């Protein structure tokens, strides 16, 4: 047997080093350092190819494995489905797609149609295309602008980057798609006007209204927002914000598209992040936690009213002329059904809320002991700490120091995330999104590692 059959570690590392182009990574250091190759996972623990064990505080790196690793129940469901019928193009139906759409819609009052795809970016592209086509079909092409928020992220394609508020991610990828217009973000910790709480929330939403009035409300088709800005720094808008956003969208007949790619499927302690704020979206996009990474699946979910706008028999080009080859893979919805069973049976939304509250308390307690922490933000098992060089001036901690803290945690066997290379000058937040099965013991381990790492940063 040659080493290809045995997966000999050094042969795998060399194959990776020679041929894999890793995502979101500067490869230069890997000329001398070995790439990290993950081999096995159980619950919240993962093992790399050197045998080192890690506690994963970021659900597979990018907040995806909501139910944790090693769920044979999901693997079995996928296997059974694949041997029965692995694929059919989405122009026709399949059993798991119909079943999963029905289960999902039961949890999303006011919404009724599910358009399947295979990634979060793709789901958002679908939403943008729907908005553009509604403008073409129903508004003479005039209502085609899509508003997005500074510091939000919606995916990696050129249109998603055009709707992306993370300038460092976008750099060098232009020119972008026209008629995507930025609105300001809503970060209370750095509010300029001395406003706080609900007053700040309402003011931040009014800033969106100003942009709408400047652009002309009749030209704006949709407002696309993350419920809680995720990779841009775990930014939770204060009360008043979402209520006002909803009011503004209704007033100017602007579709509200909420990107739940990260916050959906229990992350914040409810099924969907928007439920935390009592808003009613017109379009919701979902990916990551839908099948917890056991299969690729995404969904663009709409109201019946949006769906109806594409139904008529007078316009030969009037239906949604979109397709996703892998949106027809049945492994995705089969995995999503089993994933949903687990979230329900184990009350993982409830656990996210309870353990998340404990996590928040522990981070606040750590902030009392550790002056580098300027702000603690989050809901449920979705938390972040913004690091500052000086609490009084709120000067962001240098990003090299932030990354040194992340690397220190890794050395201790705890994997955490950071706002790395996203927002100019503010790559200073450490991010946590552990699997929704996390208990207090794991939270203590994560907070302990962060405390150790911060205490070792040069003063
Ligand atoms: N929206 C949000 C809020 C995200 O965080 C991401 C991915 N991190 C995406 C969309 C894009 O998802 P994908 O990588 O599956 O295309």
Model confidence pLDDT, tens digit, residues 62-103 = 999 999 999 999 999 999 999 999 999 999 999 999 999 999
Cα of 156 from ligand 1 centre, angstroms: 8
Whether the predicted pLDDT of 4 surpasses 70: no
Determine if the peptide bond prior to 46 is cis (ω within 30°): no
| Dihedral angle over CA of 201, 206, 207, 213, nearest 10 | 160
C-alpha 359 chain-centroid distance: 19
> What is the ipTM metric for this complex?
0.99
Task: Point out which residues pair with 383 in neighbouring strands.
Answer: 378, 432
What pLDDT score was predicted for residue 339?
Answer: 99
- Ligand 1 atom nearest 157 alpha carbon: 16
Q: Per-residue pLDDT tens for 115-170?
A: 999 999 999 999 999 999 999 999 999 999 999 999 999 999 999 999 999 999 99
Sheet strands (E) in 234-382: 255-259, 283-286, 298-302, 373-378
N-terminal to C-terminal alpha carbon distance within the chain:
54
Best mutation site among 58, 128, 153, 169 for ligand 1 pocket (most ligand atoms within 8 Å of CB): 153
Give CA 316 to chain center in angstroms. 36
Does residue 58 have its Cβ closer than 6 Å to ligand 1?
A: no
Q: Give the separation between CA 127 and CA 281, rounded to whole angstroms.
A: 12
Which domains, from first to last, does the chain contain? Answer: 36-65+347-455 (3.90.1150.10), 73-345 (3.40.640.10)
Is residue 170 in contact with ligand 1, taking CB distance under 6 Å?
A: no
CB 291 near ligand 1, within 6 Å: no
Q: Are 260 and 300 in contact (CB under 8 A)?
A: no
Residues 6+ apart with CB under 8 A from 3: 11
The candidate with the shortest Cα–Cα distance to 434, out of 338, 360, 369, is 360
Rounded distance between C-alpha atoms, residue 381 and residue 269, angstroms: 7
Report the C-alpha gap between 424 and 443 in whole angstroms: 30
Q: How many CB atoms within 10 Å of residue 32?
A: 6
């Amino acid at each position: 047997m040659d080493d290809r059959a045995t997966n000999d570690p050094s042969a795998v590392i060399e194959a990776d080093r020679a041929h894999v182009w890793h995502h979101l990574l500067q490869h230069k250091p890997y000329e001398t350092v070995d790439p990290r190759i993950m081999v096995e996972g159980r619950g919240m623990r993962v093992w790399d190819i050197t045998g080192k064990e890690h506690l994963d505080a970021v659900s597979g790196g990018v907040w995806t494995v909501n139910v944790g690793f090693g769920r044979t129940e999901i693997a079995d469901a996928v296997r059974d489905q694949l041997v029965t019928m692995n694929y059919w193009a989405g122009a026709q139906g399949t059993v798991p797609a119909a079943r999963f759409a029905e289960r999902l819609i039961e949890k999303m009052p006011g919404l009724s149609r599910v358009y399947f795809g295979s990634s979060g970016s793709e789901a958002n592209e679908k939403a943008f295309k729907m908005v553009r086509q509604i403008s073409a079909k129903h508004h003479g092409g005039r209502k085609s602008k899509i508003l997005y928020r500074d510091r939000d992220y919606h995916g990696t394609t050129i249109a998603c980057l055009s709707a992306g508020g993370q300038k460092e991610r976008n750099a060098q990828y232009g020119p972008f798609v026209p008629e995507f217009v930025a609105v300001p973000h809503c970060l209370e910790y750095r509010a300029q006007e001395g406003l706080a709480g609900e007053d700040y929330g309402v003011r931040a939403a009014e800033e969106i209204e100003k942009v709408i009035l400047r652009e002309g409300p009749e030209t704006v088709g949709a407002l696309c927002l993350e419920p809680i800005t995720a990779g841009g720094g775990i930014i939770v808008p204060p009360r008043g914000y979402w209520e006002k956003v909803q009011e503004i969208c209704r007033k100017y007949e602007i579709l509200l598209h909420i990107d739940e790619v990260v916050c959906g499927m229990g992350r914040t302690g409810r099924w969907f992040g928007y439920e935390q704020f009592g808003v009613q979206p017109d379009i919701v996009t979902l990916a990551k936690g839908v099948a917890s990474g056991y299969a690729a699946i995404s969904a663009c979910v709409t109201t019946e009213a949006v769906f109806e706008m594409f139904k008529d028999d007078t316009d030969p080009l009037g239906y949604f002329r979109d397709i996703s080859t892998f949106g027809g893979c049945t492994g995705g919805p089969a995995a999503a059904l089993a994933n949903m069973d687990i979230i329900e049976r184990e009350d993982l939304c409830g656990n996210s809320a309870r353990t998340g509250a404990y996590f928040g308390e522990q981070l606040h307690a750590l902030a009392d002991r550790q002056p580098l922490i300027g702000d603690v933000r989050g809901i449920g098992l979705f938390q972040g700490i913004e690091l500052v060089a000086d609490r009084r001036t709120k000067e962001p901690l240098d990003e090299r120091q932030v990354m040194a803290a992340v690397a220190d945690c890794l050395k201790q066997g705890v994997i955490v995330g950071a706002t790395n290379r996203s927002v100019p000058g503010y790559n200073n937040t450490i991010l946590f999104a552990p699997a929704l099965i996390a208990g207090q013991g794991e939270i203590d381990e994560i907070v302990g590692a962060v405390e150790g790492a911060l205490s070792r940063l040069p003063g």
